[in-house]
Chain A
Amino acid sequence: MKITLRVWRQAGPTAAGRFETYQADAVSPEMSFLEMMDVVNEDLIAKGTEPVAFDHDCREGICGSCAMVIDGIPHGPHKATTTCQLHMRSFHDGDTITVEPFRARAFPVLRDLSVDRSAFDRIIQAGGFVSIATGNAPDANAVPVPKDLADRAMDAAQCIGCGACVAACPNASAMLFTAAKVSHLGLLPQGQPERYRRALAMVGRMDLEGFGGCTNFGECSEACPKEIGVWTIARMNADFLKASATTRPESQGGDGA
């Protein structure tokens, strides 16, 4: 196959970006999209041009590193598939493919297709955890968890933190990512003690990072390689509403220390 690529090149966070056009003439349908990018980079190097920078690591759809908007769709046209698992057989000989970075104020471009997604880590820092120190845990079977709860928690927990939800959302909203974690922990007994504080804290951080709000477009879930459902967003809305209305000011009792 012959493919024409229009790739976003940007030297650094502050530099101005532009599209460059590259030809890939020896593309095999068996190649993954990133392998095609490797080949393109190899001849860029041969030509003395700096290769296109893009994030990737596991190349099997689980680490969440790879992140590109391919022809107007984050992770490309194939449903429930990351960029690294997308294969060239999803395209046709002679296609022209536009490749852009995930675009959001909260995801500044570092170089070419590589963006800074540390906002996601900060959202988790705000409360995406259960406060349990090593060695404190009761026996794993001490608290039974209904199977359907465990399964739904797992559905939400599968989020790989890739950011495609933000990239696809017309509002550049991080609701799906945040809701996935709030739902994962909020569904399990282990997450109950901090359930409502968590919703408040994580949503607070999410807003602080400058993501847009949610107007229920549903594009996020469609672009999500793990098909996280928008039910998680409804769940987070409910938790947030209840939390806002019911949380009392902290007791000033202190810990007696």
Chain B
Amino acid sequence: MELNARIPAGPLEQKWDRHKFDLKLVSPANKRKYSVIVVGSGLAGASAAASLGELGYQVRCFCFQDSPRRAHSIAAQGGINASKNYQNDGDSVYRLFYDTIKGGDFRAREANVYRLAQVSTDIIDQCVAQGVPFAREYGGLLSNRSFGGAQVSRTFYARGQTGQQLLLGAYSALERQIAAGSVTMVPRTEMLDLIVTDGRATGIVTRDLVTGAIESHLADAVILATGGYGNVFYLSTNARGCNVSATYRAYKRGAAFANPCYTQIHPTCIPMSGDYQSKLTLMSESLRNDGRVWVPKTPGDKRTPADIPEAERDYYLERKYPSFGNLSPRDIASRAAKEACDEGRGVGETGLGVYLDFADAIKRLGEPKIRERYGNLFDMYERITGENPYRLPMRIFPAVHYTMGGLWVDYNLMSTIPGLFVLGEANFSDHGANRLGASALMQGLADGYFVIPYTIGNYLAQVKPGAGPAAIAGAAATVAEVTERTRRLLSVNGGRSVDSFHRELGKIMWDHCGMERSAEGLRAAIDLIPGLRAEFWSSVRVLGQGEEMNQSLEKAGRVADFLEFGELMCRDALHRDESCGGHFRTEYQTPDGEAKRDDEGFCYVAAWEYQGDTKTPVMHQERLQFDNVKLATRSYK
């Protein structure tokens, strides 16, 4: 397998424009002859499906929820970045590009990131025209906030529901095309495999989640926009349905999986309260602007926060990182919290939590001001915990939030399987080893609205429309395989529920492949997972039939894939003998606990190629070239 990133020649600023001109076009008359499958209706999928429908392609869009509007993008809170420089505070395409490269700890492609920064401004225009009600000033112009420690205010937002409003915008564009007949929407349908014919992606196999029917769908190109795989940890801020199945199935059909170990942990989530916990809820990072993080100085101190005098509190972020203090970056804040808890100084029932205290802010600014700033977040916290954060300090703990890794794609967002394109969180492209706040929404919409409509035409222009006999035969074979797998899941009939396996896998991943990783921990995980997988296939219990709505069966299929994918993640984490961004290896840190990159050894994208269930996958390297920025080390001291 060779990894050709197809990065256009020429100066950074001109690459995309030149490339757009060089791309082959499909004539308007011919477009309707080509059919495209879009799996996913989140920001990336919905925007792609709508835009391709507008262009005249025959589009079929799939999602597992009952409506495309429920894709997980709906949950994004904070905002979306764009280099509009409306605030006249010195932002620019180049600055957004540089911040994103640096934020990604120099593990992303310059050309992709620069393009992202370029189209970011078009995204805001598009969304406003769709009627997205972004926050505004009294003058009627758009308002911005600074997000995730950025030095400029470039984040556009709609209260605490930016993702919702952006997705509803893309969803409305999608529904408009559905009404026009250019897009066929297929909800409550899960992709279970990819159909590959003569090395090209020619369709997918799906299960209808209502009737259970397993069917094939053929097309001239397939787009995966199926989101992130954070749920491999069982507990994460992701929705329950988020899964790796679509991308992992593609991986097993020959698509390279890039940097699977890059995981982002978010420092401010509501801690878990018991082992029945089904998901973790994110609290916007903005809270750290006014809240002070602390734990008791003495381990095992179970006194109520009020009874712990100032002198016996450890404001560890302010202590360790005097200049950034409570605003230190996500990964640093997360690790510091874990340390405190490992030392037995964690708070709350489970001891897995630290205080985020607003007492001083309330003294300084008064409760009304705090309510005005964070009212909805405080209400959410109280609804979930039953505690009033105006009186008691909040309890927070880090949680898995975003996965930078994903299927490897070239500059055209095409995977190593010709005809298979990957957009949004499902690909690995733009965030390197760590994603900046408010950049995922930007990337999803950039991919769907402004990149794929150009690059897919270039591919389609080179293939004949319509499925040949080979594709039809391939479809039948793949359907048979999927049907067999489903039958196996139903026929094990053991004694353990699917969730119990998922929980156990999550624990292994969190302990050994979470915030801190070590060679020996990762080896342990790589030994444990196959055993758990074997037990799954011998003793999982999935009741009911395949030909009906069967939610246990859906879960079982997803967990089965996580059980294989988790191992791949650990292998990737084990091979990367450095610390960078979201990947922290205890062996590779500076004396004061900072991540230590190894740019000579590891300045590359690790793309894994499947070799069969019994063989270990092969790792291919795409060397990263930095012609415009010089590699620097972060310091937040």
A residues whose Cβ falls under 8 Å from a Cβ of B: 11-12, 28-32, 34-35, 38-39, 42, 45-46, 48-51, 53, 55-65, 78, 81, 85, 87, 89, 110-111, 114, 116-118, 120-121, 124-126, 128-141, 143-147, 150-151, 153-154, 157-158, 160-161, 184-185, 188, 190-191
Contact = CB atoms under 8 A, between A and B. Distances in A.
Given A35-B278, A58-B75, A134-B173, 7 more contacts: A35-B277, A53-B551, A62-B74, A111-B548, A116-B66, A129-B175, A161-B67
A125 B178 contact: yes
B608 interface: no
Nearest to A156: B133
Contacts of A28: 273-274, 276
Contact of B126 (A65, A78, A131, A137): A137
Interface string B99-134: 000000000000000000000001011111111011
B179 interface: yes
A38 B135 CA distance: 38
Contact of B278 (A32, A53, A62, A153): A32
B491 to A, nearest CB: 15
7 closest Cβ pairs, A-B complex: A144-B140, A129-B172, A137-B129, A137-B125, A30-B273, A154-B133, A125-B179
Given A56-B240, A121-B175, A42 B130 contact: no
Interface in B468-512: 497, 499
A35 B124 contact: no
A154 B159 contact: yes
Interface of A: prevailing SS: loop
Contacts of B159: 154, 158
Contacts of A35: 276-278
Contacts of B128: 137, 140, 143, 190
B176 A131 contact: yes
Contacts of A39: 276
Contacts of B239: 57-59, 63
Contacts of A116: 66
Contacts of B176: 125, 129, 131
B328 to A, nearest CB: 25
Contacts of A30: 273-274, 385-386
A191 B131 contact: yes
A83 to B, nearest CB: 12
A111 B212 CA distance: 13
Interface string B68-88: 111010110000000010100
A141 B142 contact: yes
Contacts of A158: 159, 161, 164
Given A57-B239, A140-B142, A114 B172 contact: no
A191 B384 CA distance: 37
A85 B124 CA distance: 31
Contacts of A135: 122, 126, 449-450
B549 interface: yes
B65 interface: yes
Given A63-B75, A184-B133, A141 B66 contact: no
B136 A132 contact: no
B383 to A, nearest CB: 6
B67 A117 contact: yes
A130 B172 contact: yes
Interface in B433-463: 449-450, 453
Contacts of A161: 67, 69-70
Contacts of B65: 57, 63, 65
A66 to B, nearest CB: 10
Interface in B170-220: 171-173, 175-176, 178-179, 185, 187, 210
Given A117-B66, A188-B133, A157 B165 contact: yes
23 contacts: A12-B549, A29-B386, A32-B384, A42-B497, A45-B543, A45-B552, A50-B543, A50-B552, A51-B551, A57-B70, A58-B240, A60-B282, A64-B69, A121-B68, A124-B175, A129-B176, A132-B129, A134-B50, A134-B449, A144-B139, A157-B165, A157-B168, A158-B164
B187 A118 contact: yes
Contacts of B380: 60-61, 85
A45 B497 contact: yes
A128 B175 contact: yes
Given A34-B278, A161-B69, A130 B130 contact: yes
Interface string B495-535: 00101000000000000000000000000000000000000
Contacts of A141: 86, 141-142
Given A38-B276, A141-B142, A51 B552 contact: yes
Contacts of A46: 497
A141 B140 CA distance: 8
B541 interface: yes
A39 B277 CA distance: 10
A59 B279 contact: yes
Interface string B134-164: 1111111110000000000000001101001
A121 B179 CA distance: 10
Contacts of A153: 131, 133
B273 A147 contact: no
B593 interface: no
Given A50-B543, A65-B66, A126 B548 contact: no
Nearest to A117: B66
Nearest to A39: B276
A165 B548 CA distance: 29
Interface string B254-286: 000000000000000000011011110110000
A44 to B, nearest CB: 9
A127 B431 CA distance: 36
Contacts of A117: 66-67
Contacts of B125: 137-140
Contacts of B47: 134
B551 to A, nearest CB: 6
Interface in B24-74: 47, 50-51, 54, 65-70, 72, 74
A85 B385 CA distance: 10
B67 A59 contact: no
A28 B350 CA distance: 14
Contacts of A85: 380, 383-384
A120 B187 CA distance: 13
A149 B567 CA distance: 52
A201 to B, nearest CB: 10
B241 interface: yes
Given A51-B551, A111-B548, A141-B142, A150 B133 contact: yes
A42 B168 CA distance: 34
B544 interface: yes
Nearest to A51: B552
Contacts of B50: 134
A126 B282 CA distance: 35
Contact of A147 (B54, B69, B140): B140
Nearest to A52: B551
B371 to A, nearest CB: 16
A184 B158 CA distance: 13
A146 B273 CA distance: 44
Given A130-B129, A134-B453, A157-B165, A59 B278 contact: yes
B66 A129 contact: no
Contacts of A133: 51, 54
B172 A128 contact: yes
A32 B274 CA distance: 11
